Amino acid sequence: MNKLFFLNINKKVVFLLMLAFSAVAYAQCIPYTGQAMTSGNIYCLNSNLNVSTNISIPNGATLIIQSGQLQSNSIQVDGVLEIGDGTSVQSTGTVKVGTFGSQKNSKIKLGTKSFLSLVGSVIQEDPSFGGFYPGATSVIEMGTNSVVEICGTFTQQSKTYPSVEYIGNPTGKAYCIAKADVSGGGEGSIISDDSQIVTIAMGSVTGLGMGNSSFCGPNATKTMCPGLWPEGLSEDKTSCGNAPVIIDDLDGFCTKPPASGTPDGFTKFGITVQQKNNSWPENIPNGFLAMESKNKGFVMTRVQHVSQSPQPGDAITDPKEGMLLYDIQDKCVKLYNGTEWKCVQKSCND
Long-range contacts of 335-338 (CB under 8 A, 24+ apart): 336/306
Res 318: pLDDT:
93
Angle, alpha carbons 214-147-53 (nearest 5°) = 135
DSSP per-residue codes, 215-227? EE-SS--TTT-TT
* Strand runs labelled E in 119-153: 122-124, 138-142, 147-150
Average pLDDT per consecutive 10 residues, the chain (350 residues; last block may be shorter): 49 48 57 96 96 94 96 95 96 92 92 94 87 84 96 91 92 94 89 94 94 94 92 91 89 60 81 77 84 84 92 93 91 91 69
Res 107: pLDDT:
95
pTM greater than 0.85? no
In 3-state terms the chain splits into helix, strand, coil percentages (rounded to 5) of: 10, 30, 60
Angle, alpha carbons 250-141-111 (nearest 5°) = 50
Res 4: pLDDT:
45
- Region of 196 (left: φ > 0; alpha: ψ -120 to 50; beta: rest) is alpha
Res 11: pLDDT:
52
Task: Tell me the C-alpha distance between 344 and 109, whole Å.
Answer: 32
